[in-house]
Amino acid sequence: MNDVSLPASPDAVRPSSPRKVVIIGGGAGGLELAATLGRKHGREAVTLVDARPFHVWKPSLHEAAAGTLDIHQEGLSYLMMGALSHFGFVLGGVTDIDRAARTITVAPVCDANGVEVVPERRIGYEILVLAIGSTSNFFGTAGATEHALTLDTIDGAEHFRLTMLKQMVQIDQAKATSPDARLNVVIVGGGATGVELAAELHEASHVISAYGLPHFKPSRDLAITLIEGAPRVLAALPERISAAATERLQSMNVQIETGAKVSEVGHDYVNVSDGRTFEAQMCLWAAGIAGPALLKTLDLPLNRIGQLEVDGTLQTADPNVYAIGDCSAAPWKDGKSVPARAQAAHQQADYLATRISDRLKGRASSSATYVYRDHGSLVSLGSSAGVGSLMGKLSGRGLFVSGTLARLMYMSLHLMHHKAVLGVSRTATLAVARLLMRRTRPRVKLH
Ligand SMILES: Cc1cc2nc3c(=O)[nH]c(=O)nc-3n(C[C@H](O)[C@H](O)[C@H](O)COP(=O)(O)OP(=O)(O)OC[C@H]3O[C@@H](n4cnc5c(N)ncnc54)[C@H](O)[C@@H]3O)c2cc1C
């Protein structure tokens, strides 16, 4: 379903001759690529297609899920960004890619009642870039598809927020007759997403209850359990970061279960393979990613989790098709692929912009291949704290940072993304505007 809060670009409905560059997916990587190429080559050459009319930076979806970030306030309109950075925008989910004909099919855009607003379109391309991100990998776990929530999309985050708000209100109401009623939230996956969400939920629940749920006491009535299969949370990061995050989460009463593999997700429970059962009115799955199903239709090589294999120039086995970000598997080191991270998507957008620009100008590209630079990892642990390593490698040789400094650095990553798409002065204006708005809005979205 497409949320048609803005009209589709007129450009989108007109049958067109092949566009020079078509980028599918305006996320962390695709939007930056479209903005950079648009500024250089103009909207006649560059077209961005996205299933949504507005962009929200995916690493902030745990804040959207907790309600500490309002997606409608945060969302940046693609049409507006296209006008600012001179790229064309087509609204709609891509359902088919015909590599032989070099066309993509964009699904009809419907309003909230399912009434078609813009029909299905076919768009030709000379160069295609796939930047469609990833979906959750349930690893075939029984019941996960049916019962687990995910933070794959803006809609998923919003669904989680509203479900949690509803549950808290219901428990608040039920307290008079059922004093033992409580909300059990199980988060599966102790990577950055799971850890950040646990911390954010803890904070948000206290704010929501203070705003007007007199009987719901989060310290008594909300139980957050984080289940991780590895021996420690944030297993891909240095041990020191993991230990600091564990300590912080435990201080928030988050129950951490490591070395536990989830075997089944039910309507109100989560089973682990050692036989234990955890009550769960809500289960959030954040245990791994997979390439979106659309990639399977391309008849191009995929890795074992369904990401498109690309070479060092981010090109797939088809010389007219590139892939960046989470949907791609670019070679890294020790036979591994570049990790699925916003900083990788950002770097790849930067690299590919130069390469495609050279191609559009008919210039020979440099032979330099893309090299992933790990600038460290920062994990947000609520509104005032974070933890991470800077300029470090995943091997753990980074500079350890924690507390408010880490949180401020984490926030600066988001601003850097805005800077790449909006420029310095608009980003500064936006940051100040948001600070001012905080004085008139609740700290957690309540509707
Ligand atoms: C809660 C959370 C916290 C995270 N925290 C961090 C962090 O701290 N640091 C970090 O480096 N990474 C973090 N990540 C990972 C990071 O968000 C991703 O690695 C990054 O967003 C990948 O960028 P992308 O451009 O590949 O895809 P995305 O940013 O996911 O964008 C994909 C875009 O494609 C569009 N799309 C998908 N399918 C279609 C289709 N068929 N047709 C049209 N459009 C389509 C979507 O609407 C979306 O706009 C986090 C992820 C989550 C969920």
The domain that holds 354 is classified in CATH as 3.50.50.60
| 313 and 407 fall within a common domain | no
Residue 444 lies in a domain: no
**Residue burial 108-122, b: 16+ Cβ < 10 Å; e: rest:** ebbeeeeeeebeebe
| 259 and 215 fall within a common domain | yes
- Interval 2-42: pLDDT, tens: 444 444 444 444 445 778 999 999 999 999 999 999 999 99
* pLDDT tier for residue 328 given thresholds of 50, 70 and 90: very high
Question: Measured in angstroms, how far is the CA atom of residue 56 from the centroid of ligand 1?
Answer: 9
Which residue reads 């070479």 in tokens?
A: 311
Which residue reads 């991270």 in tokens?
A: 341
| 326 and 223 fall within a common domain | no
pLDDT at residue 384 in the model: 65
Question: Measured in angstroms, how far is the CA atom of residue 180 from the centroid of ligand 1?
Answer: 39
The verdict on the CB of residue 26 being under 6 Å from ligand 1 is: yes
Whole-Å CA distances, 266 to 140, 143, 146: 14, 6, 8
- Interval 58-82: pLDDT, tens: 998 988 888 888 888 888 999 999 9
The structural domain count of the chain equals 3
- From 360, 390, 409, the end of a domain falls on 360
pLDDT (mean) for 407-421: 82
Question: Measured in angstroms, how far is the CA atom of residue 27 from the centroid of ligand 1?
Answer: 6
Residue 447 lies in a domain: no
Q: Closest ligand 1 atom to the C-alpha of 30?
A: 25
* pLDDT tier for residue 416 given thresholds of 50, 70 and 90: confident
pLDDT at residue 8 in the model: 47
| 195 and 327 fall within a common domain | no
The verdict on the CB of residue 198 being under 6 Å from ligand 1 is: no
- From 334, 360, 386, the end of a domain falls on 360
pLDDT (mean) for 429-439: 80
Report which of residues 10 and 288 the model is more confident about: 288
Residue 160 lies in a domain: yes
Mean pLDDT for the chain?
Answer: 89
Residue 367 lies in a domain: no
| 332 and 417 fall within a common domain | no
| 333 and 249 fall within a common domain | no
**Does the pLDDT at position 444 exceed 60?**
no
Give the tokens for residue 122. Answer: 């076919």
pLDDT (mean) for 355-374: 91
* pLDDT tier for residue 347 given thresholds of 50, 70 and 90: very high
* pLDDT tier for residue 167 given thresholds of 50, 70 and 90: very high
**Ranges 3-7, 208-212, 256-260, most confident:** 256-260
Burial (CB count <10 Å: 0-12, 13-18, 19+), residue 140: exposed
Question: Measured in angstroms, how far is the CA atom of residue 209 from the centroid of ligand 1?
Answer: 31
The verdict on the CB of residue 189 being under 6 Å from ligand 1 is: no
Question: Measured in angstroms, how far is the CA atom of residue 134 from the centroid of ligand 1?
Answer: 7
- Interval 98-152: pLDDT, tens: 999 999 999 999 998 999 999 999 999 999 999 999 999 999 999 999 999 999 9
Residue 249 lies in a domain: yes
- Concatenated DSSP letters of 74-136: H-EEHHHHHHHHT-EEEES-EEEEETTTTEEEEPPEE-TTS-EEE--EEEEEEEEEE----EE
pLDDT at residue 421 in the model: 87
Whose CA is closest to atom 26 on ligand 1?
A: 325
Rg over alpha carbons for the chain, rounded to the nearest Å, is 22
The verdict on the CB of residue 62 being under 6 Å from ligand 1 is: yes
| 98 and 154 fall within a common domain | no
Q: Residue 187 sits in which domain range?
A: 144-285
The verdict on the CB of residue 340 being under 6 Å from ligand 1 is: yes
* pLDDT tier for residue 1 given thresholds of 50, 70 and 90: very low
Q: Half-sphere exposure of residue 242, counting CA atoms within 13 Å on the CB side?
A: 17
- From 238, 268, 285, the end of a domain falls on 285
Q: Helices in 213-306 by DSSP H: which ranges?
A: 218-221, 239-251
Distance CA 61, CA 49 (A): 21
pLDDT at residue 240 in the model: 87
Report which of residues 106 and 427 the model is more confident about: 106
Helix axes 78-85, 403-422, angle to 10 degrees: 60
| 280 and 304 fall within a common domain | no
The verdict on the CB of residue 237 being under 6 Å from ligand 1 is: no
| 160 and 275 fall within a common domain | yes
The verdict on the CB of residue 48 being under 6 Å from ligand 1 is: no
pLDDT at residue 301 in the model: 98
The verdict on the CB of residue 444 being under 6 Å from ligand 1 is: no
Whose CA is closest to atom 30 on ligand 1?
A: 133
Residue 76 lies in a domain: yes
Which residue reads 């687990």 in tokens?
A: 148
The verdict on the CB of residue 417 being under 6 Å from ligand 1 is: no
| 231 and 341 fall within a common domain | no
- Structural contact between residues 409 and 401, judged by C-beta atoms closer than 8 angstroms: yes
User: Which of 69, 150, 160, 341 gets mutated to test ligand 1 (max ligand atoms within 8 A of its CB)?
Assistant: 341
Q: Closest ligand 1 atom to the C-alpha of 286?
A: 53
- Interval 180-193: pLDDT, tens: 999 999 999 999 89
The verdict on the CB of residue 386 being under 6 Å from ligand 1 is: no
Whose CA is closest to atom 37 on ligand 1?
A: 132
pLDDT at residue 293 in the model: 97
Residue 445 lies in a domain: no
Question: Parallel, antiparallel, or unpaired: how do β-strands 308-309 and 328-329 relate?
Answer: parallel
Residue 388 lies in a domain: yes
| 121 and 164 fall within a common domain | no
Q: What is the DSSP letter of 214?
A: T
| 199 and 272 fall within a common domain | yes
Distance CA 431, CA 415 (A): 8
Which amino acid would we find at residue 370? Y
